[in-house]
Structures are given as structure tokens and as C-alpha cells.
């Protein structure tokens, strides 16, 4: 069950959410703890429900556990749908105090709606972007764009011109991460006709795209001062460049026929986004 929950996705969402709230604090806004906690739980439950629904609507021939019979697979799938509906009910319930207590501005409510739309479009037919080669983009919108924007708006009631300076590099790092996380399951995705972005591109083009996403992310971080952000706030994000170089090296080995170490590759993918977001957040708290 744990792999279906995709805890790495929730970790990345938590770090992106904390970054958005930390930026609001840096700009002098009083920290609103109830809004912060309710907003995070809302997003965490939504993302978990989307991941479970994605698993529930996968190819019926694919087993969830070893040696499952077709009947057991159907029963397990029903349990996933029920659990997802329970999480979505919790999401709806958390919306009530956000509105009733005046914690969510009209902008925040719009971001909540966009987040829900991205999550459901990712997982549920007939749209089901997860099986159209667009799931990684939907997850990127949810985790790296809507999440920090929502965290910021719940604290301030508005957006700020320097918020995109963080969102765009995070978006490219998220794309690189989600693309890399698809490599260990590439063979199974092909077998069960799961049309992930990796399957759509092919592994050779996907490696080039992954490396391009990383390059774009660090170029955007380096360009933060041109977007009105002091360089003192930007340079810590560049400290993860050696890790990015190591990730590129791992993919180069795979392209050259080397045996991949999937655990190391996926851990590096998550660490690239996670450490970069953490360092940028820590810098905001130290200034």
C-alpha cells in the first residue's frame, strides 16, 4: 500500500508549501498557523486521494500485490476508491473552516479549485492525464505551482511579483523529478500500456528532456536577481548543482548501457527538488 500512497510526492508538496508560506513571512506578514495547517492538510489529502485514484484506474490486468487473483484485484481496487472518496470528503470538510473563519481569500479559493481540478484531471477518466503522457505536468502544476502559491495566498490574501521567481525553477525541478521517478517502472508501464511522459517520449529523448529541465531550473535560479530577488536569497539554491551533475552522470551511464541503481537514482531525483526547496526556505527564515 505504501508505494501507492507515493510518500515522496507528499514530501515534495510539503517542502513547496513551506516555501510559499516562508516567503510571506519574509515579506513581513504575520504567520497564520491555522491557515497554514488547514491548507497543508487540504493539499496533502487531495494529493494522496489523486495517487490512490490513479492506482485504482490502472490496467485491470495489473496486480497490486503478488499472486493476486482477478477477484482480489477488483476487491482491492474498490477499497482504493473508497479510501480515496474518504480523503476527498476530508478535503471538502477542511474547506468549511477555511471559508467560515475567513482564512481563505477569493484568490486562495480559486487556487484551491485549480488544485482540485489538476488532481482529479490527473487521476480520473475520461481525462486521466496520468495515462496521456501529461500526468507529470499535472503533478508539477499541483506541487510546484499551485501549492506554494496557495500557501502564500493563505498568509497574505494575494500574490507577489517575486513569487514566480521561486515557482518557475521549482516547476522545472519537479518535472525532472517526476520524469526520473518513472524510469524504474518503465518496463511495467510499457507492458500494461500506461502512457506516462517517459513512455511517450521514449527513454533516450526522456533523458535529454530531464537534463534540459535541470539546466533550465538552475539557470532560472541564477537569474532570480533579475526578477527582483536579492542574490543572497538565490545562491543557496545553486548549492545542489553537484547533485544535479551526479544525476546527469547516472543517466549518462544508463544511456551508455550501464546497469542502473534505481534506488540511488530515485533518491537523487527527490533530493534535488527537496534540498533545493529546503535551502531556499531556510534562507528566507534566516534573513
Gap between the Cα atoms of 186 and 207, Å rounded: 13
Write the CA distances from 262 to 86, 140, 236, integer angstroms.
33, 22, 28
Contact 221, 238 (CB under 8 A): yes
Rg (the chain; Cα; Å): 19
Please tell me whether the peptide bond between 126 and the residue prior to it is cis, using omega within 30 degrees of 0.
yes
Q: What tens digit of pLDDT does each residue of 221-265 get?
A: 999 988 878 889 999 999 999 999 999 999 999 888 888 899 999
As a whole number, the mean pLDDT across the chain is 92
List of residues 6+ apart from 73 with CB closer than 8 A: 60, 62, 63, 64
Gap between the Cα atoms of 210 and 202, Å rounded: 12
Query: Cα 66 to the chain's mean position, in Å?
Result: 28
Q: What tens digit of pLDDT does each residue of 156-176 get?
A: 988 888 899 999 999 999 999
pLDDT of 38 higher than 70: yes
- Which class is domain 2-286? mainly alpha
For the residues 30-34, what does the mean pLDDT come to? 92
pLDDT of 3 higher than 80: no
Q: What is the pLDDT of residue 96?
A: 93
Q: What tens digit of pLDDT does each residue of 50-74 get?
A: 999 998 888 887 777 777 788 888 8
What band does 136 get if pLDDT is binned at 50, 70 and 90?
very high
pLDDT of 104 higher than 90: no
How many CB atoms lie under 10 A from the CB of residue 229? 17
Q: What is the pLDDT of residue 64?
A: 78
List of residues 6+ apart from 5 with CB closer than 8 A: 48, 51, 52
List of residues 6+ apart from 86 with CB closer than 8 A: none
Helices (H), the chain: 2-5, 7-26, 33-56, 70-100, 106-123, 135-140, 147-156, 163-181, 186-191, 197-201, 203-222, 231-234, 241-255, 262-286
pLDDT of 138 higher than 90: yes
Q: What is the pLDDT of residue 258?
A: 85
Q: Which residue has the higher pLDDT, 74 or 17?
A: 17
- Phi, psi dihedral angles at 102 (to 5 degrees): 70, 25
Q: What is the pLDDT of residue 59?
A: 81
**In the chain, where the domains are located:** 2-286
pTM: 0.94
Gap between the Cα atoms of 173 and 218, Å rounded: 9
Q: Is the Cα dihedral 18, 144, 274, 4 positive or negative?
A: positive
Q: Which of 63, 46, 182 shows the shortest CA–CA distance to 121?
A: 46
What band does 203 get if pLDDT is binned at 50, 70 and 90?
confident
Gap between the Cα atoms of 194 and 84, Å rounded: 21
Q: Which of 230, 246, 225 shows the shortest CA–CA distance to 180?
A: 246
pLDDT of 9 higher than 80: yes
Q: What is the pLDDT of residue 1?
A: 65
Q: What is the pLDDT of residue 2?
A: 65
Percent with pLDDT over 70 in the chain: 99
For the residues 72-84, what does the mean pLDDT come to? 90
Residue 146, SS3 per DSSP: helix
Query: Cα 180 to the chain's mean position, in Å?
Result: 13
What band does 113 get if pLDDT is binned at 50, 70 and 90?
very high
Amino acid at each position: 500500500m505504501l508505494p501507492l500512497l507515493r510518500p515522496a510526492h507528499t514530501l515534495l508538496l510539503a517542502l513547496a508549501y513551506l516555501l510559499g508560506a516562508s516567503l510571506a513571512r519574509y515579506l513581513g506578514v504575520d504567520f497564520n498557523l491555522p491557515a497554514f495547517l488547514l491548507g497543508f492538510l487540504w493539499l496533502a489529502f487531495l494529493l494522496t486521494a489523486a495517487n490512490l485514484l490513479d492506482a485504482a484506474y490502472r490496467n485491470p490486468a495489473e496486480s497490486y500485490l503478488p499472486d493476486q487473483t482477478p477477484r482480489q484485484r477488483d476487491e482491492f481496487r474498490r477499497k482504493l476508491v473508497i479510501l480515496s472518496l474518504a480523503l476527498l470528503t476530508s478535503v471538502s470538510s477542511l474547506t468549511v473552516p477555511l471559508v467560515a473563519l475567513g482564512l481563505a481569500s477569493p484568490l486562495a479559493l480559486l487556487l484551491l479549485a485549480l488544485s482540485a481540478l489538476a488532481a482529479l484531471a490527473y487521476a480520473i477518466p475520461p481525462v486521466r492525464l496520468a495515462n496521456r503522457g501529461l500526468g507529470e505536468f499535472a503533478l508539477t502544476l499541483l506541487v510546484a505551482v499551485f501549492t506554494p502559491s496557495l500557501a502564500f495566498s493563505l498568509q497574505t490574501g494575494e500574490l507577489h511579483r517575486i513569487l514566480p521567481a521561486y515557482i518557475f525553477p521549482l516547476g522545472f525541478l519537479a518535472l525532472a523529478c517526476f520524469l526520473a521517478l518513472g524510469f524504474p517502472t518503465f518496463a511495467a508501464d510499457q507492458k500494461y500500456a500506461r502512457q506516462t511522459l517517459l513512455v511517450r517520449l521514449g527513454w533516450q529523448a526522456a533523458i535529454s528532456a530531464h537534463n534540459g529541465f535541470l539546466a533550465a531550473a538552475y539557470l532560472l535560479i541564477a537569474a532570480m536577481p533579475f526578477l527582483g530577488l536579492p542574490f543572497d536569497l538565490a545562491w543557496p539554491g545553486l548549492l545542489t548543482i553537484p547533485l544535479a551533475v551526479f544525476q546527469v552522470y547516472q543517466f549518462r551511464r544508463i544511456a551508455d548501457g550501464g546497469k542502473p541503481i534505481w534506488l540511488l537514482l530515485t533518491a537523487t531525483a527527490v533530493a534535488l527538488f527537496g534540498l533545493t526547496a529546503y535551502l531556499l526556505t531556510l534562507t528566507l527564515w534566516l534573513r
